[in-house]
Structure 1
Amino acid sequence: GAPGAELAAELRAKGAGLAAVRRGGHVTYHGPGQLLALVVLDLRARRLGLRGFVGGLEEVGVRLCRRLGLPAATSRPPPLTGVWVGDGKVAAIGVHCGHYITSHGLALNCCTDLAWFEHIVPCGLEGKGVTSLSRELRRHVPVADVLQPFLHCFQMCIRDTPN
């Protein structure tokens, strides 16, 4: 979902660039301090449905957050797709699939400037918050520190899915 003209103008005035993309979900923010995992995968080769793939991305995020010290990280049933810590979404998931090939994926807030989310309704979820690893762990967590643990969790989850 694209922002209305008024909101789009307001965001541009604040220095945001806007891009319309084909993926599930509504308006979101991507910027510095986020780990973006844009996954290209042939679901037929993995014998995996789209919902299973989205669930797999959620599992990667949950395992990663727990590994980094957030045992309360969890996923929730649709429409609350993503990874949550309490009432704050720490990772958003948006996927496009065409001819069984996925694109887009997961955006994990590491040390993201969360103020950007105050100007939108993130993922179209009224009344829900957004958080980051840095906020939850009460220390600066740069993306570079999350890359290796993310890759490990991703490999573990891919290995655990049926082939």
Structure 2
Amino acid sequence: MRRGPAVRLLFLGAVPYAEALRVQERCVAAARAARGPGALPGPGPARGGPEALPAESVVLSEPSRPVYAWGLRGAPGAAAAAALRARGAALVAARRGGHITFHGPGQLLAFPVLDLRRRRLPLRAYVAALEALVVRLCRRLGLGSARALPPPFTGVWMGDSKLCAIGVHCRNHITSHGLALNCCTDLSWFEHIVPCGLEGKGVTSLSHQLGQHVTVSHVLQPFLDSFQEVFDCTLVSSEDPRD
């Protein structure tokens, strides 16, 4: 059954975090161009007619190498940055909200590029929709106790441990960045930072919670199903992010 307007799906597989960011930026540029200066709010099709590529996108990837990324609330100091690099991780500044966190193999990254004006969706409601998406995914996998908490505890939690981090950016109503869901992530990387700036909180993964090895590929289809339900859209796969 076809749902609402089409959203372009770009699944990059295992790629460096910086490459996922570059693809995301191309999608942001395409979304702004598709809307155009005279476009009106509303759920209509992308400019260029029904055969045009969808104006909105979601970029999915699995980081191929460990990286620490921080948002608008500040970078680590010089000594802390040197210590993190010494452990073999890259450091990247990301234009999103939130503090420092870790991205690496075994983690599903999702960068939705959506037009919140067209969707008539306030930014806080959009963040809540991302949380609802992951909670819905968790319930599909049998984790009924997954929950979202009020700010500043943005994300999805299992008890006092964060399962999924969320950090977004929005400019001219076009979103970027998004969420990082720990599937079979090596959680020891989080021990060297204060994840998302939250003291006294833990980090967990689907593998840890379910007691079995859960890869990104295992959760991909239930994630896509949950995305389509929450955002009332039809995902259309695209193999070439430069199309």
TM score, norm. by length of structure 1: 0.96
Higher share of residues assigned helix = 1
Compute the displacement of 1:2 (Å).
1.3
Q: Per the alignment, in what secondary structure is the counterpart of residue 185 of structure 2?
A: coil
Q: Per the alignment, in what secondary structure is the counterpart of residue 90 of structure 1?
A: strand
The RMSD of aligned alpha carbons is: 0.9
- One-letter amino acid of the structure 2 residue matched with residue 12 of structure 1: R
For residues 135 and 54 of structure 1, what CA distance do their matches in structure 2 show? 25
- One-letter amino acid of the structure 2 residue matched with residue 49 of structure 1: P
Residue of structure 2 equivalent to 1:3: 76
Structure with higher RCO (Cα < 8 A, 6+ apart): 1
- One-letter amino acid of the structure 2 residue matched with residue 144 of structure 1: S
For residues 212 and 205 of structure 2, what CA distance do their matches in structure 1 show? 10
Residue of structure 1 equivalent to 2:113: 40
For residues 199 and 115 of structure 2, what CA distance do their matches in structure 1 show? 33
1:145-156 equivalence runs, <5 A: 145-156=218-229
- One-letter amino acid of the structure 2 residue matched with residue 139 of structure 1: Q
Q: Per the alignment, in what secondary structure is the counterpart of residue 92 of structure 2?
A: coil
For residues 208 and 105 of structure 2, what CA distance do their matches in structure 1 show? 15
Residue of structure 2 equivalent to 1:67: 140
Residue of structure 2 equivalent to 1:142: 215
Count of aligned positions: 160
Residue ranges of structure 1 left out of the alignment (5+ in a row): none
For residues 84 and 123 of structure 2, what CA distance do their matches in structure 1 show? 32
Residue ranges of structure 2 left out of the alignment (5+ in a row): 1-73, 234-243
TM score, norm. by length of structure 2: 0.65
Q: Per the alignment, in what secondary structure is the counterpart of residue 153 of structure 2?
A: coil
- One-letter amino acid of the structure 2 residue matched with residue 65 of structure 1: C
1:78-119 deviations in Å (ceiling 9; x for gaps): 000000011110000000011110000010000000000000
- 1:118 equivalenced with 2:222 (yes/no): no
- 1:84 equivalenced with 2:181 (yes/no): no
